[in-house]
Amino acid sequence: METSRPTLLQDEKKVKTWIIAISIVIPLAVAVLLFMPAKVDVGSEWVYFLPHLNAVINSAASIALVFGLIFIKQKNIAYHKASMSIAFILGAIFLVSYVVYHGAAESTSFGGEGWIRPVYYTLLLTHIAFAAIALFPILFAYYYGLTDQREKHRKLVKFAYPIWLYVTITGVIVYFMISPYYLH
């Protein structure tokens, strides 16, 4: 007797509801963490290592994204899926680390002066804006790829991929620009 197990595709309405909810809740939670008056006391200095770890994670995610593009251009779907899954997992790990850090540590102010200051803030503000909207197209693109809905996937990645790549790369650049000003 064959049992019928629901698949992601069969539960598409539920998945879409979750994607929309996650795409709204996570940026709001990050905003609350960034601007909350009192930080969570984790009782240790270990959280000050997280920005450095986040830069490594974002760098690796950027590399995985570039390889994902190379592999799909070569029509190597298996390697493309693997690269994009690695980027997706790294993105999830980054997000958890980012939330922990900003929940526990005060934000660092940029100390640069002169022409570098507007460059930094332009990169930072565009990074934040794209990061805030990135989850929605990334999650849908990943879902469509995972469920082999190739036409929907192709249409969406035209927007999702450049946003995702921009966010990962500018995250690393912003890190290098502000890292001299970290207190710990």
The DSSP call for residue 133 is: H
Of 181 and 18, the one with more pLDDT: 18
| Mean pLDDT rounded to a whole number for the chain | 89
Q: How far apart are CA 24 and CA 10, in angstroms?
A: 24
Q: 1: pLDDT confidence band, cut at 50, 70 and 90?
A: very low
Distances (CA, A) of 140 to 4, 19, 104, 107: 25, 7, 30, 31
Fold annotation for 45-181: Four Helix Bundle (Hemerythrin (Met), subunit A) (1.20.120)
The reported pLDDT for the residue numbered 32 is 84
The answer for residues whose C-beta is within 8 angstroms of residue 65's C-beta and 6 or more apart is 83, 84, 87, 161, 164, 165, 168
Q: 183: pLDDT confidence band, cut at 50, 70 and 90?
A: low
The reported pLDDT for the residue numbered 6 is 52
Please give the average per-residue pLDDT across 35-63, as a whole number: 87
The reported pLDDT for the residue numbered 184 is 57
Please give the average per-residue pLDDT across 168-177, as a whole number: 95
The reported pLDDT for the residue numbered 4 is 44
Q: How far apart are CA 68 and CA 62, in angstroms?
A: 10
175: how many CB neighbours lie within 10 A of its CB? 17
Q: How far apart are CA 122 and CA 153, in angstroms?
A: 30
Tens digit of pLDDT for each residue in 72-123? 999 999 999 999 999 999 999 999 999 888 888 888 888 889 999 999 999 9
